Structure 1
């Protein structure tokens, strides 16, 4: 019997291709999912770190803000306490001044009552608050008015109270321009009374004193006069000391 031989050879390349075709896609998917999981893990780590950092920053910010608020509150409390102390001190000083003013006012009233009872003024003079006042009939310069007042044992009037200003304003009913003892001859713009006292309360007319407003016709206006018969609070004006006006003399009432 003739023997039949079958030649069967194993093709490794075919088996290799078949194996590759079967395992390639699965391996790629595993690598993809692995990379995705890794990315998600890293993202979670970064997110966690960010949240922790944000929490720490927020905590520090809140703590810093609380400290700032506490400092501001403390400073405001201290300032308020200082203000209240100062206010209390000012209130005490005000009460003391009011008390002193009331005592001085009462003493002045008693003095005036005594003056009216025991003192008199010469003929032609008018008494007010223990002083005698004389409105001249003549007119002349500020210097002439002062010289005439001195010759009468007086001097040009010094206005040192609102009551006296009111009295002088009504000394005559007609509008009269009369010298008073106020001048800025020593220093322009610095008005002083003839007794050396600085001017603290004034009753200038509106826009006065103006030293002539720059008009040389009026000259240097260095002496003050009062306009009787005008509004009490605004009836002083400055004029050239050489102008011819009447004057008001003042002296202490006598026994």
Structure 2
């Protein structure tokens, strides 16, 4: 029995993968390095002047006071330069070419995820797997409980909690569920697939981290995953 949602959302074009801009990355790295260096140098100079001030004889306090004022002015200049570098860094990282993931994808723990809900029309399991392949990814292989919770948190943000195709099937051998990377379902986590039957060879993910067998010909949303 097919319990998947049959209503299709309006299809919209998924942006093509955006490559990372080496020039933007270099600008960001330089900005971070310079701002950190200026800040550390300023604090270090102030610390030296404070130690020298407290250890100096009373007669030398006037000299050190003047020097301390100069160092304070230098620190303020460093803080201003750090602020300017921070603004430059923010501007550089706003460039879409420097994004860790393509537009429309979510980044989490060194991976990019694409949720088709509200963005693409529902597809069969094989069609959704092909969509992921065309975008240099695959249907999601869930490797641990933290990743499962991340996916569940995104699913809970949808107006209507969906069923999502994931990269899990027993088409190679009935009853032996394998992820799309060739690993068995139990290799990563202790998971089982409910409602397993001969005519249900593809798995979808539902609330609470539960997995259900469904006909691969059923239509539904899906989730892609790839390295960032």
After TM superposition, give the deviation of residue 231 of structure 1 in Å.
Answer: 1.9
- State yes or no: 1:245 paired with 2:220: yes
- State yes or no: 1:158 paired with 2:145: no
- State yes or no: 1:135 paired with 2:94: no
String of CA shifts for 1:107-130, please: whole Å, max 9, x gaps.
xxxxxxxxxx99711111111110
The answer to whether the 8 Å contact 1:119/1:130 transfers is no
Q: 161, 165, 173: which one pairs with 1:179?
A: 165
After TM superposition, give the deviation of residue 244 of structure 1 in Å.
Answer: 0.2
After TM superposition, give the deviation of residue 202 of structure 1 in Å.
Answer: 4.2
Q: 105, 110, 123: which one pairs with 2:103?
A: 123
SS at match of 1:249: strand
- 1:147 is matched with which residue? 130
Q: Comparing both chains, which one has the higher relative contact order based on Cα–Cα distances under 8 Å and sequence gaps of 6 or more?
A: 2
- Structure whose residues are more often helix by fraction: 1
- 1:170 is matched with which residue? 153
The answer to whether the 8 Å contact 2:163/2:204 transfers is yes
CA distance in 2, matches of 1:248, 1:204: 19
CA distance in 1, matches of 2:195, 2:179: 15
After TM superposition, give the deviation of residue 223 of structure 1 in Å.
Answer: 0.4
Residues 183, 177 of structure 1: alpha-carbon distance in 2 compared, 3 angstrom cutoff: same
After TM superposition, give the deviation of residue 209 of structure 1 in Å.
Answer: 3.5
After TM superposition, give the deviation of residue 203 of structure 1 in Å.
Answer: 4.0
SS at match of 2:101: coil
- 2:208 is matched with which residue? 231
Unaligned runs of 5+ in 1: 1-116, 212-218
SS at match of 2:222: strand
CA distance in 2, matches of 1:250, 1:135: 9
CA distance in 2, matches of 1:169, 1:132: 15
Residues 143, 225 of structure 1: alpha-carbon distance in 2 compared, 3 angstrom cutoff: same
SS at match of 1:180: strand
Unaligned runs of 5+ in 2: 1-92
After TM superposition, give the deviation of residue 251 of structure 1 in Å.
Answer: 0.5
The answer to whether the 8 Å contact 2:185/2:191 transfers is no
- Between the two proteins, the alignment pairs up a number of residues equal to 124
After TM superposition, give the deviation of residue 168 of structure 1 in Å.
Answer: 1.0
SS at match of 2:163: strand
CA distance in 2, matches of 1:240, 1:199: 18
Larger Rg: 1
CA distance in 1, matches of 2:180, 2:162: 21
Moved over 3 A (4+): 202-205
CA distance in 2, matches of 1:202, 1:226: 15
